[in-house]
Amino acid sequence: MDALLAPFAEQYMQRAFVAALVVGLLCSTMGTYVVLRKLSFIGDGLAHASFAGIVIAYLRGLNYAFGAAVVTVVTALGIGYVHRRAKISLDTTIGVLFTAAFALGIFLMTHYSRSSVDLQSYLFGSILGVSQSDLLMIVGLALFVGIVVAAFYRPLLYTSFDPIVAEAAGIRAPFIENVLLVLLSLTIIVSLQLVGIILVAALLVTPAASAAQLTKRFVPMMVISGVFGVVSSVGGLYLSYTIGSASGATMVLLATLLFFVSMGVSAVRRRRLSL
């Protein structure tokens, strides 16, 4: 029993488990909107765009999370504006703007930084280094995102299924789209320290994609996605401590395993219904 509870003995692990629980639940529930709207690419795009904000914050001596949040939100709103204004497909707009932001970060880092920036924690995450102040920021932003989602629940739901009909019913679809993009930006910022720039999209998309294999109803999908997200993040952290592997990568691999299990369950269910 002592061996099973060993990961919970240290304070840094306790903070890491709380962060994993919050971020796993946040990413997976927000991921439901991402999967329904077929925006899986946006998680990866906004995560990479945050790199420019991290570099700018480093050069100016500012808080890295603040710099990343500003640039990510601006990029997200820019994606929505260009998509609507120029009538360019959303995936093309994401590809153009996130690569531009990422390139800006590399440009600034190579031309204005006198010393090399340690990017490993931002690329791959460092959940074990979560401080008390980091944890408060994670919980605070997660609560803010949750409150806004609850306040805009119906508009977000209707525009996710049919934005044209929603707009005809009086819902301001462009405004709701901007709200969702900002919420996704904040979700990604919260998740960066957990899994890093490279893996954050997987934690955002994979649990929701797994839930979509099991149900097509929105609320059950969000609930199942939340369960998968928590199991992946908390379970992955516990497993990484036990076997000595990278935390973020273990979380994503566990989420991927749940995805294939969900695919198998869905296939068995379809086969039974066809008999």
Residue 272 in this model has a pLDDT that exceeds 70 = yes
The reported pLDDT for the residue numbered 117 is 54
Dump pLDDT digits (tens) for 149-198: 999 999 998 888 877 788 888 888 889 988 999 999 999 888 887 788 87
Q: pLDDT at position 225, please?
A: 95
- pLDDT bin (cut points 50, 70, 90) of residue 137 is confident
Range of the domain at 132: 2-268
255-269 pLDDT per residue, tens: 999 999 999 999 998
pLDDT, tens digit (0-9, with 9 covering 90-100), for 233-253? 999 999 988 888 888 889 999
Evaluate whether residue 9 is within a structural domain: yes
Residue 271: predicted pLDDT: 86
Domain count, the chain: 1
H helices present in 152-246, as ranges = 153-161, 163-168, 173-214, 218-243
- C-alpha 75/C-alpha 266 separation (Å) is 37
Read off φ and ψ for residue 101, nearest 5 degrees: -65, -40
What pTM did the predictor assign? 0.86
**Does residue 17 fall inside a structural domain?**
yes
Amino acid at 161: F
The answer to whether position 231 is within a domain reads yes
Between CA 149 and CA 254 the distance in angstroms is 27
Q: Which are the contacts of 207, defined by CB distance < 8 A and separation ≥ 6?
A: 24, 27, 28, 31, 225, 226, 228, 229, 232, 255, 258
| Assigned domain for 275 exists | no
pLDDT tens for each residue of 210-231: 999 999 899 999 999 999 999 9
Q: Are 190 and 25 in contact (CB under 8 A)?
A: no
Q: Indicate whether 152 belongs to any domain.
A: yes
Q: How would residue 2 be classed by pLDDT, with cut points 50, 70 and 90?
A: low
Let me know if residue 273 belongs to a domain. Answer: no
- Cα angle vertex 49, ends 74, 17, to 5°? 105
| Confidence at 90, pLDDT banded by 50, 70, 90 | confident
pLDDT of residue 118: 59
CB 24 within 8 A of CB 232: yes
Q: Does residue 274 sit within a domain?
A: no
Average pLDDT, the chain: 86
Q: Show Cβ contacts of residue 243 under 8 Å, excluding neighbours closer than 6 positions.
A: 250
Residue 181, in any domain of the structure = yes
C-alpha 92/C-alpha 85 separation (Å) is: 14
* Separation CA 138–CA 144 (nearest Å): 10
Please give the average per-residue pLDDT across 101-108, as a whole number.
87
pLDDT range class, residue 50, cuts 50, 70, 90: confident
Query: CATH number of the domain that 163 lies in?
Result: 1.10.3470.10
Dist CA 123 CA 144 (whole Å): 25
d(CA 226, CA 220): 10
